Structure 1
Amino acid sequence: MTLELRGVRKDYGGVEVLHGVDLEGRPGEVLAVVGANGAGKSTLIKILSGAEPMTAGEMRMDGEPVELHSPHDAHARGIRTVYQELSIVPGLSVTENLLMGGFPRRRGLIDWTAAHARARELLEGIGFGAIDPRTPAGRLSVARQQMVEIAKALVTMPRILVLDEPSAVLAGGDLESLFELIRRLRERGVLVVYVSHRLAEVMELATRIVVVKDGWVIATTEPSRTSEGELIDLMAGRRLEQIYPGRRARPGATRLSVRGLTRAGEFEDVSFDVRAGEIVGLFGLVGSGRSELARCVFGAEPSSSGQVSVDGGDVRFRTPAEAIAAGLALVTEDRKRTGLVGGMSVLDNIALTTMRGMRRGPLIDAARRREKVTAMIERLSIQPAHCASMRVVNLSGGNQQKAVLAKWLLTEPRVLILDEPTRGVDMATRVAIYHMIDDLARDGLAVLLISSDLTEVMGATDRILVMNQGRLTGELRSDQAGENEILAHAIGQAA
């Protein structure tokens, strides 16, 4: 199916965010859309999915004008969208999430045997057969939940599939399964609109690339006619000469020490240290136990055995509040569900972890709170600059991530644990985050950076810890480690 947008404009409250966008996609094509956070990509996706009406302009499918008033209209025309933010129902099984509204029945009742079999067939057919369809979706890792989201969009084979940062939480075999799926969809004549900040993927998968900046389409090109560097320059409006900062000086005393930490069924006998002024990367494939380890260290989940020490003193955190009081901070991998309160303002979100320290008697010192939050907004260049009173959900993804970081930096931590800190963030914002983390380390903070992005782990850290199936399998110096060596440890095949 051919898709055309002509002169598409969109405004919110009189502020125009898309300025006459023209775009064309053809059957069997992967049309990549790239741009910095706030460029207008999310608004464009909402228009394609029927979630938002355009203010002006025209959409055509196979040459015929169409109007989409709702996602239902989009589905009826064969358009399915997989958003960056997950929408599965955690309390329902994978099968229920996949087949909602279309269960096989027998004598008027749901045939659960047939339903689970159908769900398993769907998952295996797109390369995600490792997921048990009977499992409650909320118990899956974020990566596996993303796979379910993609599978759900393919239950009825779409003619146009819109993917918003589909690989942000995937790595290794799961990532390759996604790429192979996209190639198969191309062969079937599906138009895939692929929105991603991972430019290496865009260069590998796309047939054409559309660059969006400040609500305008500023370039349309092909992978063979451009480079990652040129795309970054177009997106940022300036050259990004140095993505990762230089190496730091010799680190100081041990800030965080973990010895023999075990949580039954998730990870076992994990030991490592993070020193003041050091950034330690933690890499592993989906299911390796990285995020579970971070939550356990932070007191969000209990350990079965082992010991955690902070600045030489043994601690046993029963709650995250105790970890915060001891100088730890944790930026979780899912900012929507565990990092931000969407209905609250930017100011209220950033101030959440420091409310007790902003009292004047029994009341909150509102002036002091606003002063501290405003200073943090300026420090991290959260945009728009005067966003304190805005609802945090109205910020772009990259600025939401900065707001989460601001919230934790207000606690003045000594140990900062970052779980996928650049997930869904454009390259320009990534660079800003990398340099901010570097500044924090140079000021004496101990940083544990958990990431599924191998390039990020190698470029932004001093040492790399690698996990496989709940165990640490390697510890490497970042400036000496190669990709093959790190991956060998991650899949348990290191020499």
Structure 2
Amino acid sequence: MEKARLEVVPGRIHAILGENGAGKSTLIKIMAGVVAQDEGRLLLDGREVAFRSPAEAAAAGIACVFQELSLIPDLSVADNIALANPPRRFGMIDRRAQRKLAEEALARAGAEDIHPRAAVKDLPLSRRQMVEIAKALASGPRALILDEATSALTAGDVAKVFAVLKRLRDEGLALLYISHRMHEIAELADTCTVFRNGRNVASFAAGSRSNSEIVEMMIGREYSNVFPPRQASARLASAPVLECRDLGWSDRLREISFSVGEGEVVGLGGLEGQGQRLLLLALFGVLRGTTGSVLVDGSPVAISGPAAARKPPLSMALIPEDRKTEGLMLPMTVRENLSFAALDRIARGGVIDRTKEEQSIDDMVRLLEIKTAGLDVPVGTLSGGNQQKVVIAKWLMRQPRIILLNDPTRGIDVGTKQELYQLLRRLAEAGAAIVFYSTDYDELIGCCDRVLVLYDGRVVRELEGDAISERALIASALNVEAGQKGTAA
């Protein structure tokens, strides 16, 4: 990271913007005591400080909430919230006091509905993120740093967190907020600073620059044509590549029927938690006990598990929701992560063909423009956007015909998002059948040929072409006019 300057003041929400790899995370790691700066000074209340550990930073009143959770799944919510400094009595953890501390922290975070005794592993990702925020607030910080802390939250939880942050600002906390979601910055920030290549490009009052101006500062080039043009006639006359008929699972998925043609991008919309992720897992053979039928090229198939789903004739790929825990092996190298999913394609007699492996990996690095210091560095050292590219690349090495995407742009910068949108369209034009779930309405509108809107585990509406609009998506997500199909209201 090059020389950077940043001033954060009490009673203000200061937004940091920049592409993945721009230096944002390195900066906050220095502020949080995770890494030490090579040069320059870190001042707190005008006094120079040098934190040797996160514990020292926390003791000084600096708390961080990262996109990557720091929770211990097998412990309870209360245990996690009080983990660093549990209340004690007679040398033992005071469970009653710990539960009270957890209840107060959860209430302050707007998450009163989470039970302190619940095991973290039993909570969905969005609720775990709320526990992470409560954990940070439990320490009574003077400065709160949030790094993509809302990327895993439901819309309802985001609204609660925004209310909490605004209240904390009014109480005099200094807040540093990192997000790739421009609408969040517009709603929350008082001041913005843009980073690029390890330097702060500009600081300005929120609202004084347009989104296009901000994005151009972030990526260093003109920002236009965010979404590639759709094909003039995306739905081909040929039979569907993938078809579901009355697919169901427990009471969570109900009689879902749809098809995806060659070269088509079909989106899944609706409020979070309405069955979109479960549908992708069902198609990839993760869920047991599904009902109904799945057809590939017009023939019924039995998807016994992910191993069967990824092999011909299905040739499916699933890009998971959480790249850190479901998509990558962080301590292993970029090379190992890239080749892992395609070992059966690059090996003969159980021995990896190194020449074929190198060629395949080089092709993927060039295709997705993966930025890395080398193929033999741990994949965990890459920026979030480049980690996501590795997840996608490892599946593309299998040359899948059916690609299932589970919110693939969560927590990555606008420049990388634009690259992925272009890749998505190129894959479709090459003949892939794509099912694309996104929590971002703009992505569904800009990327998809059709969108299926789910509500309570059912498809309540299908939108196509110009009928895919924000108004239609929101109305359908709320199950308004659910009986109508086709054109938007």
Q: Settle same-fold status: TM greater than 0.5.
A: yes
- Write the mapping of 1:423-462 to structure 2, written as runs, cut at 5 A: 423-462=410-449
Question: What do the CA deviations read for 1:230-254 (whole angstroms, capped 9, x no partner)?
Answer: 0111111111210001112332331
Deviation, structure 1 residue 347: 1.2
Matches of 1:360 and 1:372 in 2, distance apart? 15
Cα separation, partners in 2 of 1:98 and 1:358, compared to 1, 3 Å: same
Give 1:358's match in structure 2, choosing from 346, 354, 377.
Answer: 346
Amino acid in the other structure paired with 1:381: E
Q: 1:483 aligns with which of 470, 475, 480?
A: 470
Cα displacement (A) at 1:224: 2.6
Name whichever of 86-95 and 221-230 sits farther off: 86-95
Task: Kindly indicate whether the alpha-carbon contact (under 8 Å) linking 1:485 and 1:494 is maintained by their aligned counterparts in 2.
Answer: no
Seen in structure 2, the aligned counterparts of structure 1 residues 266 and 126 have a Cα distance that, compared at 3 Å, is same
Matched, 1:342 2:330: yes
Q: Secondary structure at the match of 1:412?
A: coil
Measured after TM superposition, the shift of residue 217 of structure 1 is 0.8
Equivalent residue pairs, number? 477
- Contact 2:109–2:133 under 8 Å retained in 1: no
Q: Is the 8 A contact 1:277 1:441 kept in 2?
A: yes
Number of the residue aligned with 2:181: 198
Question: Counterpart in 2 of 1:8?
Answer: none
Q: What residue is the counterpart of 1:179 in the other structure? A: 162
Separation in 2 of the partners of 1:132 and 1:354? 42
What's the counterpart of residue 269 of structure 1?
255
The residue aligned with 2:215 is 232
Tell me, what secondary structure is at the counterpart of 1:479? helix
Q: CA RMSD in A?
A: 2.0
CA deviation after TM superposition for structure 1 residue 445, in Å: 0.7
Q: Measure how far apart 1:38 and its partner are.
A: 1.0
In structure 2, the CA distance between the partners of 1:247 and 1:424, relative to structure 1 (3 Å rule), is same
* Alpha-carbon distance change, 269 to 94 in structure 1, aligned in 2, over 3 angstroms: farther
The equivalent of 2:73 in structure 1 is: 90
- Cα distance, 1:90 vs structure 2: 1.6
Other-structure match for 2:132: 149
AA aligned opposite 2:59: A
Structure-2 change in CA distance of 1:450 and 1:150 (3 Å):
same
Amino acid at match of 2:270: G
Partner of 2:18: 35
> Partner residue of 1:71?
54
Other structure's SS at 2:467 match:
coil
The equivalent of 2:320 in structure 1 is 332
Amino acid at match of 1:266: R
CA distance in structure 1 between the aligned counterparts of 2:472 and 2:112, rounded to whole angstroms: 27
Structure 1 residue aligned with 2:365? 377
Is this contact kept in 2: 1:466–1:472, CA < 8 A?
Answer: yes
Q: Render the CA deviation track for 1:35-86: whole Å, top value 9, x for unaligned.
A: 1111111111110111001111111111111111100011001100111112
From 264, 278, 292, the counterpart of 2:278: 292
Query: Which structure is higher in strand share?
Result: 1
C-alpha displacement of 1:270? 2.3
SS in 1 for 2:3: strand
| Deviation at residue 123 of structure 1 after TM alignment | 2.3
Is the aligned partner of 1:258 residue 2:244? yes
Aligned with 1:415 (options 387, 398, 402): 402
Offset at residue 295 of structure 1 (A): 1.2
Distance 1:228 1:241 in 2: 11
Cα 1:153–1:306 change in 2 (3 A) is: same
Equivalent pair of 2:86/2:93 in contact (CA under 8 Å)? yes
TM-score (norm 1): 0.92
Render the CA deviation track for 1:200-231: whole Å, top value 9, x for unaligned.
21122111111110011111112232011001
